[in-house]
Amino acid sequence: MQITQNVIIAGVSHLQENFDYSMEELVHLAAADNLKVVTQVRQHLDHINNQFYFGQGKVQEIKHLAQYYNVQLVIVNDELSPAQVRNLEKATQLQFLDRTELILQVFAQRAHSRQAQLQVAIAQLQYQLPRIHPSGNPLDQQRGHGGLANRGAGESQLELNRRTIRQQINKLQQDLRHVRQTLNIQSNRRQNAHLPQVALVGYTNAGKSTTMNGLLSLAKESADKQVLVKDQLFATLDTSIRKISLPQMPDFLISDTVGFISKLPHNLIEAFRSTLAEAQTADLLIQVVDASSSQLPQMLDTTQQALTAIGIHNKPMIYAYNKADRTTNFVKPEIIGNSIYYSALQTSSLKTLINLIYKHLFKQYHVIKVLIPFADKKLHHYIHQLTIQRQEYTFAGTIYQLFVSPQQALKLQKYQLN
């Protein structure tokens, strides 16, 4: 059973776009970390207070509310400076967690594979590195050096701790490289290196994994190929790659990966760079967006920013506006240019989506007919690696109807019928 701790969330609406939504999102993030929000504190400030982040009066209000609700933990909807955390904790005798740290904790909880665990651990240590302090830091306490009185000794202790953390990061990075070398993902990709690759990307909880599963069931893949779907933030942390094989069409690979969220910690994007590598090498991205969300423009923006941060520019993209069934008047899927309006829970939607994918991936492909003499075994073998739509035996040999790329067509030019 999960243990739930009660918390207060607090935010300053200073120049923060979509403040209300980001506070709502913070409630979900807290829930994802088994924390229950009992009340919210909001403040409008023109300037953030350097010392306390909030104004002094608000700090006292938080302290009193915490007493009233019997709460020990406050989550702040922003990244705080190490000094702000210290000052807030000293002034209130409460514990403060910022949004970045909360996201890191959620990731740490969700990380099941060794790769994800290592990636999160690295991001957490990188986050801690500039934040450790000679007094009151967890490493000091572990070593029994809490609250060093001597300033000189404190500084050297601080350096020692920083060095220890850096060494830990290096060690974890080594382990990570080792884990990646032995990962299935890579061997899967190597085996299928010749296949075109599609990557699902987008905001967390948009329905990427549901879309992946829908496409897999269209391809009649067995249930064990399905990926995890859950109505929670960051259900997926690892990348899964699957092959989609439908009759009479060329195969392609599809990958499902971790989702984005606004103010996703930079360290985390860095740490998850290799998990997101599939998106970098993909021939086509499908950006899944929750069409039923009032925050749609911000979600598109956040995804765009995250893609830019991992160095993805100008990649062909299908905008997949999912959960259309939750919007009014939705009956069937609709394609407008590079966008599809659909529901990942509806078979006709998935068929339309897969056709759109084929149109993008195989736009250079066309249908040809070739006549191959029976005796040419090597050529028959080659043809059977291509997409055969029909075949017919005649006295002169086998006639194949093929769906081929320009290069494949060139190889078969002299066997082509009319």
Task: Provide the binding-site residues for Mg ion, judged by CB under 5 A.
Answer: 209, 235-236
Closest distance to ligand GTP from the beta carbon of 181 (Å): 26
Task: Tell me how far CA of residue 247 lies from CA of 87, 158, 391, in angstroms.
Answer: 64, 63, 13
Site for ligand GTP in 312-331 (CB under 6 A): 322-323, 325-326
Residue selected from 30, 32, 233, 277 as contacting ligand GTP according to rule CB under 6 A: 233
Between 229 and 276, CB nearer to ligand GTP: 229
Is 301 a binding residue for ligand GTP by CB under 6 A? The answer is: no
339-341 vs 334-336, strand pairing mode: antiparallel
Is 275 a binding residue for ligand GTP by CB under 6 A? The answer is: no
For residues 297, 279, 321 and 335, what is the CA-based torsion angle, rounded to 10 degrees?
A: 120
- CB atoms inside a 10 Å sphere around CB 347: 11
Residue selected from 105, 128, 205, 267 as contacting ligand GTP according to rule CB under 6 A: 205
Least Cα distance to 195 among 410, 386, 383, 370 occurs for: 386
352 marked as binding residue: no
Residue selected from 105, 210, 239, 387 as contacting ligand GTP according to rule CB under 6 A: 210
Between 341 and 403, CB nearer to ligand GTP: 341
Task: Tell me how far CA of residue 149 lies from CA of 136, 145, 155, 157, in angstroms.
Answer: 12, 10, 11, 12
Residue selected from 115, 126, 197, 236 as contacting ligand GTP according to rule CB under 6 A: 236
How many chain residues bind ligand GTP (CB under 6 A)?
A: 23
Q: Which residues share a beta bridge with 255?
A: 199, 241
Cα–Cα distance, 68 to 73 (Å, whole number): 13
Decide which of Mg ion, ligand GTP, none touches 230; Cβ closer than 5 to 8 Å per partner kind.
Answer: ligand GTP
Site for ligand GTP in 83-142 (CB under 6 A): none
Closest distance to Mg ion from the beta carbon of 49 (Å): 38
Tokens representing 116 are 């994800």
Cα–Cα distance, 416 to 418 (Å, whole number): 6
Which 3 state secondary structure label does DSSP give 63?
helix
237 marked as binding residue: yes
For residues 338, 339, 345 and 347, what is the CA-based torsion angle, rounded to 10 degrees?
A: -50
Is 344 a binding residue for ligand GTP by CB under 6 A? The answer is: yes
Residue with tokens 């549901």: 210
Between 132 and 244, CB nearer to ligand GTP: 244
Which 3 state secondary structure label does DSSP give 368?
strand
Decide which of ligand GTP, Mg ion, none touches 254; Cβ closer than 5 to 8 Å per partner kind.
Answer: none
- 37 and 104 Cβ atoms separated by less than 8 Å: no
Binding site listing for Mg(2+): 209, 236
Binding site for ligand GTP (CB under 6 A): 204-210, 229-231, 233-236, 259, 288, 322-323, 325-326, 343-345
Binding site listing: 202-209, 234-238, 256-259, 322-325, 343-345
